[in-house]
Chains A and B, each alone.
Chain A
Amino acid sequence: MALNGMEIYKMLPKKNCKECGFPTCLAFAMKLAQGGTQAEKCPYMSDEAKDKLAEATAPPMKTVTFGIGDRAYSLGGENVLFRHEKTFVNKPRFAVMFDDGENADDVAKKINHINAVNYTRISEEMYVEIAAFRCSSQDKQKFISLIKKVTSDCKKVVPMIISEDPDIASAAAEEFAALGPIIYGANEKNCEAMAGIASKHKLLLGVKAEDQAKLYDTVQKIQSMGFRELLLDGGGRSLKTAFDDAVNIRRTALLSKDRTFGYPTVAFVCDMTRDKMMEVAMAALFIEKYASIIVLSDMDYSMALPLFSLRQNIYTDPQRPMRIEQGIYRIGQADEKSPLLVTVDFALTYFIVSGEVERAKVPSWILIPDAGGYSVLTAWASGKLNAKSIAKAIKDFEVEGKLKTRELIIPGKVAVLKSDIEDELPGWKVIVGTREAAALPAFLKEYRQEKAS
């Protein structure tokens, strides 16, 4: 719970020595209560007071990490239940499940899919971050050799080692410690041993229980051992119970402000259905609410395209407009005589416009000037999209050298810019395009026909 200034003041040494940079201990305490300074600034505070303060000022949900180097990821640390309240912080990561009882063909197929799904969408690299391994053979060697195979074939994945047998978990953790794996499988009975393994190798520990109440007790037990790098699983394996777990663990942390559940959660979608398309539906739900690791049985392009896009959307900071890079974009097999359109650098607008141009099947160029990251009308109204910014883009991206066309199609909503642009760009003709992107295919087809005749 948060402390007020007087409560903090009582814990200070009251020396008024000014070393913290404040005239008195009381002034320091007041500032600290507002979060305007850090407790470490006072060198004379007792350890006990420091711990109390750290506890009081810690965020409601812990940020934990797994992986290493450029494959280190943060989970949790969320402050809100809805993105418009502030923003979501750490996006969920996708895992593909492997089982050491699975046949070699299935393993090979999943490895191929993981390696194939690797692309960039609006400056974000999309790939499967985690390979989860279930030890159903109870054979340590078999288990370890599967993990070895997959992690050496799929260079990007971080392993998630799933076993409730501390002996097996420990052997696998030892073997793959350098990859920063997740150890999953602490329960009521084995949690002491499992926490020992995780703490020895500094790994993230997955905790599992039959239901939320039992999970709560187990987490308290682990916390009392001083270990706090946790990932929670309330045990639900039907969509309904797993959704209940995800929502209520998150609400316990953020609404009840109870840090026992102040950790990220994992959803084993692969255990809830055998149908790939049902996995897509369920994963979509858990991206919005509120899983931090989503384990699927596979990840081919048909699953990846919607799920990575959804994740990207939901984890976009609502305060910041999504922008795409300025430049000249080629759509289809456009050549130097193909139509040239201009629109804004607001990513949503660009995606809609480029999608419609693709649909038109008229190869074209799209010029993106600096428009402040706004939609067409907002960019124009705020003065970001004007004749000068468009002319500058034509020059900066050497359009006159690259293309033979001297006609520029502008959005219908900013038809008023036509003569200004023609003044700025001698030798160019401005064509007023459509008001809505949906009308572009018909417009472009007609435009191309007119050009041809």
Chain B
Amino acid sequence: MAYKKPSQKFSGKIREVTVGSGLKLGGESVLPFYKFDGDTGAKPAVGMEIWDVFPESWPQSLKDIFGEYADDPVKWAKFCMEKYNPDFICIRFEGANPEGEDRSPEECARTAERLAGEVPVPLMIAGCDSDEKNAKIFVKIAEALPDKNYVFLSAVEANYKEVGAACGMAYGNIVSAESSVDLNLAKQLNILITQLGVKPEKMVMNPGCAAVGYGFEYVITTMDRIKLAALDQNDATLQMPIVSPVSFETWKVKESAASEEDMPEWGSQEERGIAMEIATAAGVLAAGSNAVILRHPKSVEIIRNFIDELL
């Protein structure tokens, strides 16, 4: 008997969503990186995270790289563009946090506007820990930057109405629907947001992210199930591309955050942080992420090569 190579053909397809003016996400009709089965769609995108305020809590190794530019998000973004050329920039409005600097929605919108004017790649706009405050800043930013096709991270159960109505409908941007590692919750939120009137091509999703070792199996299994439902069962409510904010999770766990004085046997803190970020990013990409957000330049370089080598 001779070898017959197996293959899995599906009737469904992940929706292709255009971010900014030309960054395409999704479009695949096969499992992640299964080039041997068919069309893998757009290459997964790699973006870099910056903050609207100086990232005091970041490990020193990152501050050594970005510190000189990080007092101004425009300077910071330009530095990333020139040196590392990411596919998009994710600006996180940590400064809006009511328990921190509590910056106003107007101030956030001004920052976003300045960035949009100076940065040639699309933006992803992320908020702070407060869902309530995020709704307010997202509305203002979307208003200031209409029809840009920027991605807003994220609409959650608590604020999807305001975020969906403003970002996805009134001002023509893209809404990311965020749920926590449960296929049914992801599906429900996607349905609720489309019922508001947001078009599916103006949506992406984040069905939950975690660092490897921290319940990451739930992330992978939720993503496996979503991709199988989208492809195999042609479930249109789950065919949105997935954006994974990897760096939001991996830099706060102890493997990345513990200093060399605290854990001498663990060796270089910088290497630990990079390896946690890379393993988590490769892990979600292998389960179907269409875009990952990263911090460390080395992670950006490696993950980009990793994607290129697979496709």
**A binding-site residues for B, Cβ under 8 Å:** 82-84, 116, 121, 212-213, 215-217, 220, 238-240, 243-244, 247-248, 251-252, 255-256, 258, 260, 275, 277-278, 280-285, 287-289, 300-303, 305-307, 309-310, 312-314, 316, 318, 348, 351-352, 355, 358-359, 436, 438-439, 442
Known: A212-B5, A213-B3, A306-B275. A285 touches B286 (CB 8 A): yes
Residues B3 and A212 in contact, CB atoms below 8 Å apart: yes
Cross-chain contact A251 with B8 (CB below 8 angstroms): yes
Chain B contacts for A287, CB-based, 8 A: 283
The answer to whether B242 has its CB under 8 Å from any CB of chain A is no
A-chain residues with CB within 8 Å of residue B4 when the two chains form the complex: 256, 258
- A-B contacts, 9 of them at CB < 8 A, read A215-B3, A238-B309, A239-B309, A252-B5, A284-B286, A285-B286, A302-B268, A306-B279, A314-B217
Chain B residues numbered 256-311 whose CB sits less than 8 Å from any CB in chain A: 257-258, 265-268, 271-272, 274-276, 278-283, 286-287, 298-299, 302-303, 305-306, 309-311
Interface residues of B (CB under 8 A from A): 1-6, 8, 33-36, 99, 129, 212-218, 220-221, 224-225, 228, 252-255, 257-258, 265-268, 271-272, 274-276, 278-283, 286-287, 298-299, 302-303, 305-306, 309-311
Complex Cα distance A82/B226, Å? 12
Give chain A nearest CB distance to B179 CB in angstroms: 15
Docked Cα-Cα span, A260 to B275, in Å, equals: 37
Shortest Cβ gap from A242 to chain B (Å)? 10
Q: 19 additional contacts, CB 8 Å, given A83-B224, A280-B302, A355-B252?
A: A82-B228, A84-B224, A239-B306, A239-B310, A240-B35, A248-B5, A251-B8, A256-B6, A277-B299, A284-B212, A284-B283, A301-B265, A302-B275, A306-B212, A309-B214, A313-B213, A348-B215, A438-B129, A442-B99
Which 9 A/B pairs are nearest by Cβ-Cβ distance?
A309-B213, A306-B279, A216-B3, A302-B271, A348-B215, A284-B282, A313-B217, A281-B282, A310-B212
Measured between beta carbons, the chain A residues less than 8 angstroms from B265 are 116, 301
Greatest chain B CB density within 10 A among A121, A247, A281 is at: A281
Q: Which of A82, A215, A258, A307 contacts B279 (CB 8 A)?
A: A307
Q: Are B214 and A277 within 8 A (Cβ)? A: no
A351 to B311, CA, bound (A): 35
Task: Say yes or no: B279 contacts A288, CB within 8 Å.
Answer: no
The verdict on A314 contacting B274 (CB below 8 Å), with A359-B257, A438-B129 known, is no
User: Which residues of the other chain, B, contact A307 by a CB distance below 8 angstroms?
Assistant: 279
